[in-house]
Amino acid sequence: AAAKTTTSAPKAVKATSTVDKAQVKAFKEQVEKHLRTTIGTSPEKASKLAWWQALVATVNEDIFGRLTDTQQTHAKNDTRAVHYLSAEFLMGRLTINNLTNLEKFDVAREALKEFGLDINDICEEEPDMALGNGGLGRLAACFMDSLATCNYPCVGYGIHYENGLFRQEIRAGKQVERPDSWREYGCPWEVCRPESVQNIPLGGYVEKQTAPDGSQCSVWHPSSMIKGVPWDIPVVGYRGSSVAILRLWESRSTEQFNWDVFNAGGYVDAQTEKSLAETISKVLYPNDSTEAGKELRLTQQYFFCACSLRDILRRYKRSHHNDFSEFASKIAIQLNDTHPTIAIPELMRLLIDEEGLSYEQAWDITSKSFNYTNHTLLPEALEKWPVYIFEKLLPRHLELIYEINFRFLNGPVEAKWPGNNEMKSKLSIIEEGEVRKVRMANLCVITSEHVNGVAKIHSKLVKEDLFPDYAQLWPNKFCNVTNGVTPRRWILSCNRGLAELYNDVAGKDWPLDLDKCEALKKYADKKEYQDRFMKIKHDNKVALAKTIKELCGVEVDPNALFDVQVKRLHEYKRQHLNLLYIMSLYKSLLEDPDQDIVPQVFIFGAKAAPAYTLAKDIIFAINAVGEKINNDLRIKGKLKVVFIPNYRVSLAEKIIPAADISEQISTAGYEASGTSNMKFSMNGALTLGTMDGANIEIVEQAGIENNFIFGLSVEEVQKLKPRYNPWDYYNADHDLKAVVDWLDSDFFTPGQPGALSSIKSSLLNNGDPFLVLADFASYKAAHQRAQKMFKDKAKWAKAAMINSATMGIFSSDRSIKDYATNIWTLKSQLIKK
C-alpha cells in the first residue's frame, strides 16, 4: 500500500519507502488480532483508546521475549546488579518510546495509516505516567532507559502511586489541583506479580530479651502488617538490547492488619482499617523542595524500601542460600536522594533480626552496598524526621539508628577529633533540640561507600559546603556524576526531523553514542545545512503553535523567537525574574510601539506545590500579565506570553524541540544540575542562563559565545548574600523600579489592586532571598544580545547547530557508565537470545 505523506506534526516524517511492506502487513494483522481478541472490539467500532490498547498489546508481544532473555542471562552470569531505589519515576508515555527503542515506529505508523489512523493521534490516548515531581523523578526514568540500553543488570524500585503528580488546571489565571488518575482504565504496560507479594510490619513496640547466653537482644512486636503488591513495568533498551524491570509497590491491607478490628468491631471498622493500609500508596507528595515531615510520607518511604529489600534478599538467597558473605559483591543499592534512606536500618534489621547475623557482619555488608546521590543544597529540602514519629512507626529502626550513631561518634569521630563534643553534635545523626530529629542525609553519608552530586559545581558544593566535616573524615567518599538525559526520548522520538538530519551526517548509531553528533559541527557554516536545521526548528514551532492555540487559545507566530522556561515553579528558579523582564519589554513597547524588535513569544510551563503560596502567586502573575499583553493591540503582536497548563513529560516532548531560547536562570549555587537545560541544547536551543549547575558544563562544550550567560557567579552570590540590600538595586534602576511598582497597581488585574503585590513584597520586604534584583540588569543585557543575534539568521543557525552537536556527554548513557565504573563496579552483559 502506498504511504501518503503525513501532516506537519513534529513526529511525522516524509513518506518512507524504506519501511518493509511485509513487516507492515504483519504488524497490521497483529494489531487487528489484538483489537478483536484482547480488547474485544473490531476496526469498525473501535475507539481511539481501544486502538491504542491493541497497539500496546502488539508491542508487548515483542517485549516479553526479550525480558525473559535478559533475566536468564543475568541469573546465569550472576554478576553484580544495581538496585535503584527512588520514591519517584517520572516515566511519561511509553508507547512511542518503546516502538522507537524496538525500531518499530515506522512500521507501526504505516500499519496504523492503513487503518486510516495517525499514530501520533492514537498515542495521545496514553496518559502520562507522572509518578514524580520533576527533575529527580525524570532522571530516574532516563537512567532506567540507559541501564537497559547499556545492558547492566539492574532493577528500579519505587512506589505504585494510585495518583501521580496532580493535574494542573488554570482557572481565572490561578492554579487549581486535580487528581491524576493515570490508571483509571488500566495501564496495559504493567504486570502484577502476586507471586512476589511482601508483608511489611509497622508500629508496635520493642521488647528487650535476654538470650540463653546472657546477651541482650531486641524483639520487635509490630502492631500491623501491610501487604506490598509488585507491579512490573518493562523498560525496553534501544535496539534489542536488554529489557529492564521497574518494580513499583502497591500497598494493600492484610488479614493480619484487620485481625484485631474484626474481632473487636466487625465488618465496617475493618473496612476503615483497610482503606488506611491502602492510603500508603494512594498519592505522590507534590512537594519538590520543602520537606513535609508527614507521617504518611515516612510510611511510604519505609513501605517501598522494606518491600524492595525483601525482594532483593529473596533473589539473593535463591542463588546463595543463607551465605551472606557475597552479598555486597553482588548487590549495589543506589539511594536517589534521602527519600529511601530508611532502607539502611531496614537492611541492618533484616540481617540481624531475621537472618541472625551479628551487628558487625550486618554493618560490613550494609556499608559496602549503599551509595547516595544528593540532589539539593536547599536546607529546607534536607529530610529530618522527628524522633517521636520513629518511635511510633519504626521503633526497632530507631534503636538501630542510635546504635549506628553511637558507634560512629565514638569510633571515627572520636579518633579524628578526640573529646570534641561540638564536632560530635554537628556530625550526629540525631539533631538535639525541643523536638529531636533524625537527619537522614547524615545517615546516608555515614553508611554509603560513595556520595555523589549531580554536576561538577554541585558536587564541589556538596563536599565543601554541605558536608565539609564528613569530607575531612572521608575525602574519597565524595564524587561527581554529572546528570544526563536519554537521547532516545529527547531527540530520536520527540524530534524526528532532527533525528533524520543526524542519521544523514553522523550515521545511524548516534542514539547509542551521542558523541557522534559532533559530526554536525563541520556543517555549521554551510548554508544548506543551516537552512535544513532551521526548517526542522520551524516545523516544530508550527506544531507547537497549534498546540498553544488548542491549550491556551492564543495565536502565536512561528516566525517569532520562542523563549521557553518550563520547570517546577520555585523562587530559586526565578520565573519572576523572567516576568519582570517581560514587563520591562512591554513597557518599552508601549513607550515606542514602532521600535524594531524581534517578535517574541514567552512560553511558560510550571506546577507549584499546592501549599507554596508565592509560587502560586507567580503563576497568577504570569497569566495576568500574559492576558493583558496578548490582547493589547498597540504592540502589534510583537510580544506574546503564554502559560501552558499542566506541564508534564508529554508536553515537554512537544515544547523542547520548538524552543529557540532555553531559560536556565536560577540563582547561581541553587540548581543542583538541571536536566531540561541539556534537552533544550540537544534540540538546538541557545541557553540564556546563569553559571549554575550543568549550565557550566553545557557552555564548556558548546562555547560561551554560542549562549547567553549572565548574572552573579556562585562565588559572587556567596560574597554578596550577607550584605545584600535589594532596595539599592531598586532605587538605582529606573526601569526596574517602574516594573516592580507596576506589580502594586491594578494595571494587570483590573479591579484587584494589590493582587500581584506579594511578589514585590518578597523582593523588597522579604529581602529578595534569590537575588532577583541583583541579576536584573545583567539578565536584560543578555536578552538584548540574544535579540541581536536572532536577527542574524546564519549566526543563530550556526550557534544552534553547535549547541546540538556538542551535547554528547549529556547522554544518560555516559552518566550510567560513570556510575557503573566509579560507583557500582558493574559489568555490561551480552544478552543471550
Residue of 573, 638, 648, 814 with catalytic role: 573
Do residues 660 and 686 touch, judged by C-beta distance below 8 A? yes
- Residue 43's SS3 state is coil
Judged by CB under 6 A, which of 539, 671, 697, 813 binds ligand BZD?
671
DSSP string, 289-318: SS----HHHHHHHHHHHHHHHHHHHHHHHH
Q: Per rule CB under 6 A, is residue 136 in the interface with ligand BZD?
A: yes
Q: Per rule CB under 6 A, is residue 483 in the interface with ligand BZD?
A: yes
DSSP string, 638-675: SEEEEE-SS--HHHHHHHGGG-SEEEE-PPTTT-S--S
- The Cβ of residue 230 has, within 10 Å, a number of other Cβ atoms equal to 23
Q: Per rule CB under 6 A, is residue 669 in the interface with ligand BZD?
A: no
- The Cβ of residue 355 has, within 10 Å, a number of other Cβ atoms equal to 16
Nearest residue to the partner ligand BZD, using Cβ: 135
* Candidate segments 102-110, 114-122, 373-381, 822-830, binder of ligand BZD by CB under 6 A: 373-381
Residue of 375, 532, 576, 780 with catalytic role: 375
Q: What is the CA radius of gyration of the chain?
A: 27
Q: Per rule CB under 6 A, is residue 684 in the interface with ligand BZD?
A: no
Our CB check for ligand BZD shows the closer of 288 and 311 to be 288
Residue of 486, 675, 749, 806 with catalytic role: 675
Our CB check for ligand BZD shows the closer of 582 and 672 to be 672
DSSP string, 51-81: HHHHHHHHHHHHHHHHHHHHHHHHHHH---E
DSSP string, 444-460: HHHH-S-EEESSHHHHH
Per DSSP, helices labelled H in 343-394 are 343-349, 359-369, 387-393
4-33 positions binding ligand BZD, by CB under 6 A = none
Judged by CB under 6 A, which of 10, 92, 134, 689 binds ligand BZD?
134
- The Cβ of residue 214 has, within 10 Å, a number of other Cβ atoms equal to 6
Residue of 679, 760, 783, 798 with catalytic role: 679
Q: Per rule CB under 6 A, is residue 122 in the interface with ligand BZD?
A: no
Q: Per rule CB under 6 A, is residue 227 in the interface with ligand BZD?
A: no
Binding mask 154-193 for ligand BZD (x = CB under 6 A): ----------------------------------------
Our CB check for ligand BZD shows the closer of 135 and 173 to be 135
Q: Catalytic annotation on 279?
A: no
> What is the rounded CA–CA span in Å between residue 549 and residue 555?
6
Judged by CB under 6 A, which of 127, 135, 237, 711 binds ligand BZD?
135
Shortest spacing between CB 699 and ligand BZD, in angstroms? 16
Q: Per rule CB under 6 A, is residue 566 in the interface with ligand BZD?
A: no
Q: Per rule CB under 6 A, is residue 665 in the interface with ligand BZD?
A: no
- Residue 255's SS3 state is helix
Our CB check for ligand BZD shows the closer of 153 and 693 to be 693
Q: Catalytic annotation on 541?
A: no
Binding mask 452-471 for ligand BZD (x = CB under 6 A): --x-----------------
Shortest spacing between CB 440 and ligand BZD, in angstroms? 11
Our CB check for ligand BZD shows the closer of 496 and 568 to be 568
Amino acid at 818: D
Our CB check for ligand BZD shows the closer of 134 and 711 to be 134
Q: Per rule CB under 6 A, is residue 139 in the interface with ligand BZD?
A: yes
Shortest spacing between CB 370 and ligand BZD, in angstroms? 18
Q: Catalytic annotation on 568?
A: yes
Our CB check for ligand BZD shows the closer of 296 and 381 to be 381
Q: Per rule CB under 6 A, is residue 236 in the interface with ligand BZD?
A: no
Our CB check for ligand BZD shows the closer of 359 and 572 to be 572
Our CB check for ligand BZD shows the closer of 74 and 138 to be 138
Do residues 435 and 386 touch, judged by C-beta distance below 8 A? yes
Shortest spacing between CB 482 and ligand BZD, in angstroms? 10
Q: Catalytic annotation on 14?
A: no
φ/ψ (deg, to 5) at 690: -95, 165
> What is the rounded CA–CA span in Å between residue 97 and residue 314?
32
Shortest spacing between CB 611 and ligand BZD, in angstroms? 13
SS (H, E, C) 163-226: ECCCEEEEECCEEEEECCCCCCCCCCCCEECHHHCEEEEECCEEEEEECCCCCEEEEEECCEEE
Count of residues that bind ligand BZD according to CB under 6 A: 20
Residue 811 DSSP code: B
376-415 positions binding ligand BZD, by CB under 6 A = 376, 381
Binding mask 269-288 for ligand BZD (x = CB under 6 A): ------------------xx
Do residues 98 and 168 touch, judged by C-beta distance below 8 A? no
* Candidate segments 19-27, 129-137, 511-519, 793-801, binder of ligand BZD by CB under 6 A: 129-137
Our CB check for ligand BZD shows the closer of 175 and 664 to be 664
The angle at the Cα of 720, spanning 719 to 723, to the nearest 5 degrees, equals 115
Residue of 568, 574, 760, 780 with catalytic role: 568
Element (H, E) at 805: helix 793-805
Q: Catalytic annotation on 339?
A: no
Judged by CB under 6 A, which of 672, 686, 774, 801 binds ligand BZD?
672
Judged by CB under 6 A, which of 675, 706, 803, 806 binds ligand BZD?
675
Do residues 598 and 637 touch, judged by C-beta distance below 8 A? no
> What is the rounded CA–CA span in Å between residue 186 and residue 587?
50
Q: Catalytic annotation on 833?
A: no
The angle at the Cα of 423, spanning 419 to 429, to the nearest 5 degrees, equals 115
Shortest spacing between CB 286 and ligand BZD, in angstroms? 9
Residue of 396, 567, 648, 783 with catalytic role: 567
End-to-end CA distance of the chain: 33
Shortest spacing between CB 19 and ligand BZD, in angstroms? 37
- The Cβ of residue 432 has, within 10 Å, a number of other Cβ atoms equal to 9
Q: Per rule CB under 6 A, is residue 341 in the interface with ligand BZD?
A: no
Our CB check for ligand BZD shows the closer of 673 and 749 to be 673
Our CB check for ligand BZD shows the closer of 10 and 135 to be 135
- Burial call 53-86: b when 16+ CB within 10 Å, e when fewer: bbbbbbbbebbeebbebbbebbeeeebbbbbbbb
Helix axes 527-552, 793-805, angle to 10 degrees: 90
Residues classed as catalytic: 375, 567-568, 573, 675, 679
- Residues at the contact surface with ligand BZD, assessed by CB under 6 A: 133-137, 139, 287-289, 375-376, 381, 454, 483, 671-675, 693
